[in-house]
Amino acid sequence: MTSIRIVLADDHTILRRGLRLVLEREPDFAVIGEAGNGRDAIDLVIRENPDVVILDIAMPLLNGIEAAKRIHEERLRTAVVILSMHSDEGYILKALRSGARGYLLKDSAETDLIQAIRAVNAGKAFFSPAVSKVLADDYIRQIQQQGVEDPYDLLTPRERELLQLIGELKSTKDIANLLGVSPHTVDTHRAHLMQKMNVHSIPELILYAMRKGLIT
């Protein structure tokens, strides 16, 4: 059995220890390194090429978001889970833009950490349920207060399917295979989708999918 190799990055030693203890309860998890700041985390990821890196947002020298961005830019295969105290969508959007696959609230780290690591390691997205709930509630309230029609209702079944797959962080190629169409068609559908939803980036689409509860 190949274990999932994990790097932990948080500037609080005691928190790292706590997380490590949680992870070590899983027999197929291996914490191969710890870092106290964003730079060390990047070095460690480059050197060790782990499956998953847990990055705390607030870290000295280089914060978790910036570190995630660098890892993403380096086209490393390591999946990033952002660890945060904020359930605000501003942070989530920023995490998504930085290329992170998972967004984990510290409040619920102990219960969700294992699940999050397994999800991102399997190429899926993971967001703390509390976060998804806040986003969904905000969205419903906003639609009601504004008294407008939910753009989701205007989507075709195909577009809804596409939205869900995008929310699951599937690549264009994967989506094309799953839907049995060409990647070019996927791009066209996605462009239509973004126009209908009035969003301008994939992370915003993902956020929207979360609001609609399409990702769990």
Partner 1 sequence: MQNERIRQDYFNRDRILEQLRSDIYLSGTYVRDLLLEQDPSRADSHRRELELARARIEDNVAAYQRILRGEEHAAFQEFRTELDAYFTSLHPALEWDASQRRAYGYAFMRDSLLPRRMTIVHIADQLSAVNQVQMQGGNRQITNLFSRFRRTMIVFLVLALACGALLTAGSIRRVMRLERLSAARLSDAEHAREALRELSARLIDVQESERRSLSRELHDEVGQSLSALQLGLGNVAALIPATIAEARAQLSELRILAEKTMAIVRDMSLILRPSMLDDLGLIPAVQWQAREVSRNHNVFVQVHADSIPEDLPDDHKTCIYRIVQEALRNAVRHANAKTVHIDLHHSDLRQSDLRQSDLGQNAETLVLTIQDDGQGFLPEREKGLGLLGIEERVAHLHGTFRVDSTIGDGACIHVELPLSQRPAEVEV
Nearer to partner 1, 18 or 129 (CB): 18
Rounded to the nearest whole angstrom, what is the least distance from the CB of residue 200 to partner 1 in the complex? 13
Task: Give min distance, CB of 136 to partner 1, in A.
Answer: 12
Shortest reach from residue 182's CB to partner 1, in Å: 36
Nearest residue (CB) to partner 1, 29 versus 165 = 29
Q: Which is nearer to partner 1, 19 or 119 (CB)?
A: 19
Task: Say how far apart CA 215 and CA 26 lie, in whole Å.
Answer: 25
Residue indicated by tokens 């930085």: 98
Nearer to partner 1 among residue 10 and residue 40 (C-beta) = 10
CB nearer partner 1, residue 15 or residue 181 = 15
* CA 133, chain centre distance (Å): 15
Contacts with partner 1, residue ranges (CB under 8 A): 10, 12, 14-15, 17-19, 21-22, 25, 57-58, 63, 65, 85-86, 88-91, 93-94, 106-107, 109-111, 137-138, 141-142, 145-146
Shortest gap between Cβ of 18 and partner 1 (angstroms)? 3
Task: Tell me the C-alpha to C-alpha distance, in Å, between residue 143 and each of 140, 149, 152.
Answer: 5, 7, 11
CA dist 198 and 142 (Å) reads 15
CB of 86 vs partner 1, minimal distance in Å: 7
DSSP string covering 86-142: ---HHHHHHHHHTT-SEEEEGGGHHHHHHHHHHHHHTT--EE-HHHHHHHHHHHHHH
Are the CB atoms for 206 and 125 separated by under 8 Å?
yes
